[in-house]
Structure 1
Amino acid sequence: MRETLSQFEKNIDEILALKEIDDTVLCEPLSEGKWSIREIVGHLYYWDKFILEKMVPLMGEGGNLPGFPEHDQHNEDAILFLKEYSVESIIDHFVATRKELTREMKNLAEDIRFTIGGGKRQFSGESFLKIFLKHDAHHIKQMKEKGLRQK
């Protein structure tokens, strides 16, 4: 679990590094019809916020967490929620929320098991986090590729 948490927290550095890139680049779509880096960071933040507020409080032995929201609607809600925020503010929100989420996950006992949305699959804190590490990796790769094209 320690290594998984370390990687989850390390992704903060990847997002903080975006502050070195010009806002105009961060606000351009990755390609036609795709999100911008700003929107991707907002998307990651909004998922962390959901997990922290709706799921973590129920992560106890035998807990049944709410199901994940419908992805398209959740993502649309994230983009609308972040509409008025600057790129720097979104990055700061992501960092603060990811740090808090990491702290909460560190406090979970390693032997607890819970389910999600009434499903039968048992998750540990680590197996749950690994879902979101893959999600982070997917989006970090997209952002890095965009950043390389801008140099």
Structure 2
Amino acid sequence: MKASEIVWHNEESVRFMQSLGTLSEEEWRRPLGPGKWTIAEVAGHFAAWDRFILEQRLPYFFGAGPLPAGPDADELNARSGRESRGRSRDETIDDFVTVRRQLIAALRDLPAGDWSREFQIGESRMTLGHYFAGMIEHDEHHFRQIRQALENG
């Protein structure tokens, strides 16, 4: 995946999240399905992952040492879900927008040559394009869930 496509997706994700600012409190707190997270909780977990990428991935991808260990995904998601339940819609959206714009700026600042360089995570070798393609799949999966919950509401 090209750098421009990755930046474009992230810019679109900001617009999508901002569009959720028109939701009623009932819609914002609506579960995606039986036993599932609410739209608020899903929206709230993105910033935690973006912070992890900004702080624990981007600075280390091309360094000499190993990457810092990743978080326990279930723990990070549970914590961000709890935090989202206690915050307003606007606070959650503003947090997402702020952190995602920081990520966009960091991506734009990467040297062009870094996009084709390989790095290693565990046993996997990949490029930034491949890494961020996985992040985009994650975003799109949840954006589809949110759209579907709102359509079925």
Report the Cα offset of residue 91 of structure 1.
Answer: 0.5
Tell me if 1:134 matches 2:137: yes
2:95 is matched with which residue: 93, 99, 116?
93
Corresponding residue pairs, total: 148
SS at match of 1:64: coil
CA contact (8 A) 1:65 1:114 kept: no
Mapped partners of 1:41, 1:94: distance in 2: 8
Aligned to 1:41, which of 36, 40, 43? Answer: 43
Instruction: Look up the equivalent residue of 1:111 and give its one-letter code.
Output: S
**Aligned residue runs from structure 1 range 26-105, under 5 A:** 26-60=28-62, 64-105=66-107
Q: Normalising by structure 2, what TM-score?
A: 0.87
Can you give the 5+ residue segments of structure 2 that lack an aligned partner in the other structure? none
Alignment partner of 1:113 is 2:115:
no
The range that moved more, 81-90 or 19-28, is 81-90
Per-residue deviation at 1:66?
2.5
1:122 is paired with a residue of what secondary structure?
A: strand
2:118, 2:11 → 1: CA distance? 22
Percent sequence identity is: 28
| CA-CA distance at 1:63 after TM superposition | 5.7
TM-score, structure 1 normalization = 0.88
Name structure 1 gaps, 5 residues minimum: none
Q: Deviations over 1:100-151 (max 9, x none)?
A: 01111222232332222xx23222222111111000010000000111123x
